A and B are shown apart, each in its own frame.
Chain A
């Protein structure tokens, strides 16, 4: 599997650290219900097919990336900077 970092270009999967589902970016408010925290910290859709997850280009520029890919074929559809997504510039 190869992932194209928007800053560095296409690199081997080994340069990246996998964090998990990109829902990690949607941290709930501190006083939200146990149920919502449970969904945020533990519960996952865990799809067969297209998924969005969070990777860090740890062996490169260090940027956090949102990678959209297929969990069966390992095809990578798109990669975007998590920062850009959070700042709403993309």
Chain B
């Protein structure tokens, strides 16, 4: 197996980079496995990796209907952070950020984690109070947070329009350990790590049915035939409702499109991740120089994987309000991904009524940062039958009992408002 290092890059570079080999095999499905993971996105791949690494499950497969990393894992705006407030989310994302900080060593893969810091802008006294409360809860969780007032913020990010009439900027909540990572590399790193440990990554293999006998899962139907397994996990993000329906379930999920945008490459200007909540806008700059930004959902249930113009206009408008210089940049591309919006805005990692069938869904537009911890937690649940401590509250029955719903934004049980 090929190990990456600076020396290796030199050695391969000299003969013209002709010696590199594929990072993973492309096997055909076997008739049976010890466990199957449906969905080769970030969460499916990390689940497979940790099942193999932490629990010794090596006779397992990831079934992906398209190609690895073609879903949301390759479409997101790559922000990682641990600035959640509610118990349940707080410890989970805190754990995930710690895993991010060691991910490249763990995977021997350059995930380009860049802890450039996240600034969440504040515009009023009231917002300062709530930000102080959130910041304190982050500190109690063991993460970092600092309130920044206008003068200091102005030195850090001088290019914002501080005097705009609608939302004059008064300060920010700073989360220094937050930042970005290279989304594709995360998928590829986990894929390579899982493959190395014997996991079969099977592409162009759509799951079309889930086989259940006497309340127990026995395998799946796919476009490449029947595959048997006593344990199956549904990890398909925006397609969760369809795959869960194959097992007779109806989920607290509605699928919505989220768009993002990138400009031509520019010289470094945006050194942090800036979140302008009041304008539903956020921006960072990729290492290639493109300004990467986005806003809200398109707001109605959709599987289109592309966006509509009203949201494009709204995002551009908010960007121009915040940072007028943005108007000089040319937008290179825009795209959309389908989000599994849960009714309380928080995810589910749980067993189901069907024995051996597990569910990982409801990541909304925040599931990239969750990829490492979600893999650890889902693998732990599949292998041991017990919930991992840091993901213990991601239960499906919270929607029925109403106990411990995790509505971070206190927006109520409407799927598109989170």
Contacts and interface: CB of A to CB of B under 8 A. Distances in A.
Contact of B241 (A38, A42, A44, A55): A44
Given A42-B252, A51-B301, A18 B416 contact: yes
Contacts of B250: 39, 43-45
Contacts of B399: 38, 41-43
Nearest to A12: B310
A1 B308 contact: yes
Nearest to A73: B304
Contacts of B343: 41-42
A40 to B, nearest CB: 10
B304 A35 contact: no
Contact of A20 (B308, B400, B415): B415
Interface in B245-277: 245, 250-255
Interface string A13-30: 110001111000000000
A44 B252 contact: yes
Contacts of A46: 241-242, 251, 253-255, 301
A14 B310 contact: yes
Contacts of B308: 1, 13, 74
B413 interface: yes
Contacts of A78: none
A74 B302 contact: yes
Interface residues of B, number: 25
A37 B146 CA distance: 42
B241 A74 contact: no
Contacts of B242: 46, 48
A2 B391 CA distance: 42
Nearest to B399: A42
B403 to A, nearest CB: 11
B413 A18 contact: no
Contact of B400 (A13, A38, A51): A38
Contacts of A20: 254, 301, 414-416
A42 to B, nearest CB: 4
B303 to A, nearest CB: 5
Interface in A33-90: 34-35, 37-39, 41-48, 51, 53, 55, 71-74
**Closest 5 pairs between A and B when the two form their complex, measured CB to CB:** A42-B252, A46-B241, A42-B343, A38-B400, A18-B300
Given A43-B399, A46-B254, A71-B255, 7 more contacts: A21-B301, A42-B343, A43-B250, A48-B242, A71-B304, A74-B304, A74-B308
